[in-house]
Amino acid sequence: MNKLKAIILAAGLGSRLGKLTENIPKCMLKICDQSLIERQVKILRYCGINDITIVTGYKNNKIDISDVNYIKNENYRTTNINESLFCALELSDSQILVSYSDIIFDEKIIQHLLNSGNGITLAVNLNWRDNYQNRQMHPSSEAENVLLQDSKIIKIKKNITDLSLEQKIGEFLGLLVMSPESVKIMLEKHDKLKKNHVGPFQNASSLSEAYLTDMVQELIDCGTAVTALITNEKWCEIDTNEDIERAKRIFQKF
């Protein structure tokens, strides 16, 4: 069996959390006495992933997890999460799992993703509006939505509202898995874009400022199949102080 790999994207500033992230990156915030990044690494290892790379940026020296690889996005202040991914993404003979660093999730989501088969698979929640109840500081319009037809993702961006009767809208949970073939396709596409693309890119003002979702949409537009793993397992993202309190309630027991 090929060695499983994971990339955790942890370069961001976390500015919406104010003083809480003045001296540490967001992924080092503690929820129930364990930092976000520590919990993620623990879950990944439990699921059999020991080859873990953390892409750092802001306050990179504050992340101190043993037995992982570190790559710094030196341009973290002027680029976005997609650029961080390509600091670390390489050709692989095994699946690669990609995770945002500012999320907390049940290990079952990882287990199900790793069993999802070939191609690119994103973890998606169809009951996503429940995640925005009582979140005054983070409205549902900021959700990274996916438009689904059956299990196939045909659009991914914030604030999707239009759909047909046979379609559904879900939320991308910041977790995806790619087969070796899909990794190759993504790397080749990004290489061409870096050489030739100018101007806006999908919903971003430029390629360097693109989100991961912009790159996924680019692949969809080029005919790459992207599927959804529908899950209702426990999950939280941490963007505001409200989110921290919500996560503490949901994940009281680790």
Question: Which CATH number do you get for residue 30?
Answer: 3.90.550.10
**Residues near 71 by beta carbon (within 8 Å), at least 6 away in sequence:** 53, 54, 55, 56, 87, 88
Q: What integer best gives the mean pLDDT of the chain?
A: 94
Structural domain including 172 reads 5-250
For residue 183 the two structure tokens come to 């990794």
Q: Is 81 exposed, middle or buried (0-12, 13-18, 19+ CB in 10 A)?
A: buried
Residue positions counted in the chain: 254
Q: What is the pLDDT of residue 1?
A: 46
Cβ-contact 116, 125 below 8 angstroms: no
- Pull the structure tokens for residue 14: 């976390």
The helix-helix angle for 212-221 and 180-196 (nearest 10°) equals 100
Give the model's pLDDT for residue 2. Answer: 59
Q: What is each CA distance from 248 to 25, 65, 98, 251, 253, in whole angstroms?
A: 19, 22, 24, 5, 9
pTM of the full structure: 0.96
Phi-psi map region of 59: left, alpha, beta (phi>0 left; psi -120 to 50 alpha): left
Give residue 136's pLDDT.
85
- At residue 92, the pLDDT reads 94
Structural tokens at position 16: 């919406």
Q: What is the pLDDT of residue 252?
A: 81
- Which pLDDT value is given to residue 15? 86
* pLDDT one-digit tens code per residue, 186-197: 999 999 999 999
Looking at the structure of the chain, the number of domains it has is: 1
- State both tokens at 114: 């790793």
- As a whole number of angstroms, the distance between CA 79 and CA 206 comes to 9
Which positions of the chain have pLDDT values less than 70? 1-2, 253-254
Structure confidence by residue, pLDDT tens digits, 9-22: 999 988 889 999 99
Q: Answer positive or negative: Cα dihedral of 135, 138, 139, 145.
A: negative
